[in-house]
Every structure is written in C-alpha cells, then in structure tokens.
C-alpha cells in the first residue's frame, strides 16, 4: 500500500507536465503605456444562423510584458503581477483552471489603499474590468491576457479602452 501511494504521488505531477503545453516565445510588439488601435475581424452570427464577417476597431491603452512581482503605472493606474500559476491537472475541459493563469493587481494611485486583484487564464480576451471604479476613472474596458510563459515567468497582456 505504501509503495503504491509513493508511486502514484511520483506519477501524478508528471501527468500534467506532459500535457503538451508549450511556453510561448517573447512577444515583439510590446509598447507599454501607449494609446493605439488595431482592426479585429470576426464572424458574427445572424438570427438565421448565417455568419457575417465583421471588422471592428479595438482601442488599446497599452500592451505590456510583466514578470512576476513587476509592476508598471502611468501615473494614475498601477498594474502588478502577483502570481503565475500552471494549469491544474484533472479539471474539466473548458475550465479556466485547465490553462495557465495570472493573478493581477490593479491600483488607482489616487486611492492606493484599495487595490483589487483578478485571477485570469491565458488567452482570456476582453475581460471586463470592474475594480472599485477604476475602469470608469481610466476609461478601461477590459484586460486581455494574451499569453503566459511559466518557464521564464512573464505575462503578456493588453488593456482595452472604452469606445
């Protein structure tokens, strides 16, 4: 019984490690705090099940590469990476915990005693941000976690602006 428990404990962590996740390469389009726009094309479903290609302009407040423990601010809003987490083993497909995750902290520098934090999975796009009114003050619509590199310890993310 003891031998079985030891073998099982040694095998289980390896099960997740071989799940096929590959850490992404370092991005080349990090701009920091900079307002910019990008075109985004996607299909929209109609009421008759038809699909139409729609093009939208997304407004960004910035695109960042932050390592665990790093923070950045624009004089009004501070973003800090609190923790990077690997995918969990044995969760249902579609569960956000099946992907790498990041815990981010947002803080208005005008009210530093009221931070808020979000735990978000990799490839989570345009998440509404609602931190003690931070999104209203700073015209932030959402957070887009583009990728997470667990080996090198960084997250690549966007802040999107209200249209």
| pLDDT by 10s per residue, the chain, length 163 | 554 444 444 444 444 553 678 999 999 999 999 999 999 887 888 777 788 888 889 899 999 999 999 999 999 889 999 999 999 887 777 676 788 999 999 888 888 888 888 888 888 765 555 666 665 656 676 888 999 999 999 999 998 886 5
Q: Encoding tokens for residue 63?
A: 């695109």
| Share in percent of the chain as helix, strand, coil (round to 5) | 15, 50, 35
Distance set, CA 42 to CA 2, 144, 148 (Å): 55, 16, 24
Whole-angstrom Cα distance, residue 128 to residue 8?
41
Q: For the chain, what are the domain ranges?
A: 26-161
Task: Look at strands 77-85 and 101-108 and give their pairing.
Answer: antiparallel
Whole-angstrom Cα distance, residue 117 to residue 70?
14
Distance set, CA 133 to CA 116, 118, 139 (Å): 10, 14, 10
Whole-angstrom Cα distance, residue 68 to residue 48?
47
Q: Encoding tokens for residue 20?
A: 């096929």
Q: What was the pLDDT predicted at 8? A: 46
Asked whether the whole model's pTM tops 0.95, one would answer no
Intra-chain end-to-end CA distance of the chain, in Å:
62
């Amino acid at each position: 019984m003891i031998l079985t428990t030891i073998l099982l404990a040694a095998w289980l962590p390896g099960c997740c490690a071989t799940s096929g996740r590959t850490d992404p390469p370092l991005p080349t389009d990090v701009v920091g705090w900079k307002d910019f726009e990008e075109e985004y094309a996607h299909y929209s479903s109609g009421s008759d099940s038809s699909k139409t290609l729609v093009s939208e302009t997304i407004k960004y407040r910035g695109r960042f590469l932050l390592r665990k423990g790093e923070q950045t601010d624009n004089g009004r809003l501070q973003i800090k990476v609190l923790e990077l987490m690997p995918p969990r083993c044995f969760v249902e497909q579609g569960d956000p915990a099946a992907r790498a995750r990041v815990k981010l902290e947002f803080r208005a520098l005008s009210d530093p005693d009221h931070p808020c934090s979000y735990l978000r999975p990799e490839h989570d796009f345009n998440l509404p941000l609602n931190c003690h009114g931070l999104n209203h003050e700073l015209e932030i619509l959402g957070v887009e976690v583009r990728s997470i590199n667990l080996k090198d310890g960084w997250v690549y993310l966007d802040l999107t602006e209200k249209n």
